């Protein structure tokens, strides 16, 4: 969560209360990650996008 906090604060586009709300939402979403078949972590946008595209291709039979 510290990485997300640093990213949000580093952007300088959201008020502190908005950042806090986003962090609470992120924790809730992450606590439910086990309910899904796949998880794509967006720690590097290019890699995350590639993984997502690969999943879509694999599930749609295009691989």
Whether the pTM exceeds 0.85: the reply is no
Q: DSSP assignment, residue 33? A: G
How do the domains of the chain map onto residue ranges?
1-31, 37-63
Phi then psi for 12, rounded to 5 degrees? 70, 25
Q: What residue spans of 12-61 are helical by DSSP H?
A: 16-31, 45-60
CA–CA distances in Å: residue 58 to residues 12, 28, 51, 52: 38, 28, 10, 10
What pLDDT score does 17 carry? 97
Contact residues for 14 (Cβ-Cβ < 8 A; gap 6+): 8, 22
What pLDDT score does 63 carry? 58
Question: Which residues, given as ranges, of the chain have pLDDT below 50?
Answer: none
What pLDDT score does 42 carry? 87
């Amino acid at each position: 969560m510290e990485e997300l906090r640093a990213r949000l604060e580093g952007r300088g586009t959201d008020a502190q209360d908005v950042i806090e709300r986003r962090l609470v939402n992120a924790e809730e979403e992450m606590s439910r990650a086990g309910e899904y078949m796949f998880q794509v972590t967006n720690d590097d946008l290019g890699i995350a996008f590639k993984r997502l595209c690969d999943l879509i291709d694999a599930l749609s039979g295009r691989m």
